[in-house]
Structure 1
Amino acid sequence: MVAIAKEFQVDLSKPLVCQVGHLGEAYQEWVHQPIVSKEGPRFFGNDFLEVLTRTVWWVVPIVWIPVVCYSIAISVGMGISSFQAILLVMTGILVWTLMEYSLHRFVFHIQTRSYWANTFHYLLHGCHHKHPMDGLRLVFPPAATAIICIPFWGLIRLFSTPASTPAIFAGGLLGYVMYDCTHYYLHHGFPSTEPARHLKRYHLNHHFRIQNKGFGITSSLWDFVLGTLPPASSTQKKSS
């Protein structure tokens, strides 16, 4: 099967990562024309590299929830009360929601046109928009998350005390776990009650109707605050 985008042809039967960069300016149009199939594409010809691109959703809580608990325990061990720890964790979750929105809007949806920029964008987020139902590429691999955790920890340290830093970090990490699990559920779950049904409509609207609006995954808070809410009528239509 071959998808044609201007002068360059992307062969969907072959590994995609080394192809998409050649699309140049046509990449953005191509990547935002989704292929709705639960069978994901092949990224690399090398089997080892290919395995590294696939992550089952339940790996996220298994790997990171123990880190969340350990971080909270460190703060409590340094004299933070249980009540203070709860407030700090909630603060961390709030900070994560802003990071979630900012990463999605300003990094994941950056406009690219060069070979390497297109390739990097496809690996980071473009693949998800092209194949939104690929269940093995819906969550971040733990190694990628660990890399993001390093500057996140450093940022928290700049604005908090040594005792409160681990608890705020734990809240941010917990927010991330909630985000990735929610994201998977919005694509593959079948919610029957609100607010989950609204969140599913809201997110699928971002994929299939208005891709430059609705960047929040776990909530629409920052879309509301920063003016990127999609039109209400578009999120009220039937979700799939």
Structure 2
Amino acid sequence: MKRNLLRTGVDAIVRMSSTRANYWAEVALDVTLCLVLLVEGWMHRTSPLTSLLALALGLLAFSFIEYFFHRWMFHTRIPLFEQGHRMHHAQPLGYDSLPFFLPSAVLLCLTGLLVLVMPLGVALLMAGAMTFGYIAYGLSHFTIHHVRFRQPLLRRWAASHHVHHYHPDSNFGVTTPLWDVLLGTRYVRQPRKG
């Protein structure tokens, strides 16, 4: 009985997560969190160089988090993650996202951990940059699936993610190919035989 109740709850969250309202509520909540973290971090900052390093490190950290979640969480058997991502692969133009509150909750937990191990201003700037990275990822992913680019560089960038939909064991990075290159999951087109 508990298992059926859990399954029903997960199914309800997945249905809610695929709505337009959930998607845009998540964007609004994430932008608000990002601004609060960056403003508070700026108010508690130390030196300009340390602040810039915190922002750069936050963006780099997010790029790995993006890769980690896409590769090892969304392509797994954890229902909350896998079900929604499977829906995205089946309907790439749908409004697929996590429950609107989940990314901000995770980012706040990460912020708390950072505050425990580094100066407050550095931790808040780093967390703000990670939140900005998440927003950039979400909007980039949405744009890739809803816009037909004419500019060649943007077409190649979008194509890299579209390849993932045909080769789901490659191209996990949406905003950057960095971790796909470093960890050997970048799709390499095989020469035609013949």
| C-alpha separation in 2, matches of 1:227 and 1:152 | 27
Q: Report what 1:173 is aligned to.
A: 131
2:120 aligns to what SS in structure 1?
coil
What residue is the counterpart of 1:229 in the other structure? 186
Which blocks of at least 5 consecutive residues in structure 2 are unaligned? 1-6
C-alpha distance in 1 between matches for 2:186 and 2:14: 37
Cα contact 2:46–2:121 (8 A) shared by 1:
yes
Query: Does structure 1 residue 69 correspond to structure 2 residue 69?
Result: no
Inter-CA distance 102–226: structure 2 relative to 1 (3 Å threshold) = same
Q: Which residue of 2 aligns with 1:100?
A: 66
Offset of 1:60 from its aligned partner? 4.3
Describe how 1:104-183 pairs up with structure 2 within 5 A: 104-110=70-76, 112=77, 117=78, 119-134=79-94, 136-137=95-96, 139-183=97-141
CA distance in 2, matches of 1:66, 1:198: 31
What are the Cα deviations for residues 28-79 of structure 1, in whole angstroms up to 9, with x where unaligned? xxxxxxxxxxxxxxx65xxx98445413554444332232222122122224
Match of 2:147 in 1: 189
In structure 2, relative to structure 1, the CA distance for the partners of 1:60 and 1:190 (3 Å cut) is farther
Find the counterpart in structure 1 of residue 46 from structure 2. Answer: 80
Cα deviation for residue 190 of structure 1 reads 1.3
Q: Percent identity?
A: 21
Structure 2 letter corresponding to 1:64: D
Q: 5+ residue gaps in structure 1?
A: 1-16, 19-42, 235-240
Query: Residue 219 in 1 paired to residue 176 in 2?
Result: yes
Would you say how many aligned residue pairs link Structure 1 and Structure 2?
A: 183
1:96–1:175 CA contact under 8 A, matched in 2: yes
Cα offset, 1:216, TM superposition: 0.5
Whether the aligned pair in 2 keeps the contact of 1:133 and 1:188 (CA below 8 Å) is yes
Pairwise CA distance, 1:88 = 1.6
Distance apart, 1:194 and its partner CA: 4.1
Q: Which ranges of 4 or more aligned residues in structure 1 deviate by more than 6 Å?
A: none
- The TM-score, its normalising length taken from structure 2, stands at 0.80
C-alpha distance in structure 2 between counterparts of 1:100 and 1:132, whole Å:
18
Bigger Cα Rg: 1
Question: Secondary structure at 1:197's aligned position in 2?
Answer: helix
Contact 2:30 2:104 in 1 (8 A): no
User: CA, structure 1 residues 233+59, in 2 after alignment: closer, same or farther (shift >3 Å)?
Assistant: farther
For residues 60 and 72 of structure 2, what CA distance do their matches in structure 1 show? 18
Letter in 2 for 1:69: L
1: CA distance, partners of 2:129 / 2:59: 5
**How far apart, CA to CA, are the structure 2 residues paired with 1:192 and 1:91?**
32
In the alignment, is the contact (CA less than 8 A) between 1:76 and 1:82 conserved in 2? Answer: no
Offset at residue 120 of structure 1 (A)? 3.6
Specify which of 49, 54, 62 is matched with residue 19 of structure 2. 54
Distance 1:160 1:124, change over 3 A: farther
Question: Is the Cα–Cα contact under 8 Å of residues 108 and 125 in structure 1 kept in the other structure?
Answer: yes
* CA distance 1:124–1:51, shift in 2 (3 Å): closer
Highest RCO, 1 vs 2 (Cα 8 Å, sep ≥ 6): 2
2:3 maps to none
* TM-score, structure 1 normalization: 0.66
For 1:219 and 1:52, how far apart are their aligned partners in 2? 25
Distance 1:226 1:144 in 2: 27
Deviation at residue 95 of structure 1 after TM alignment? 0.4
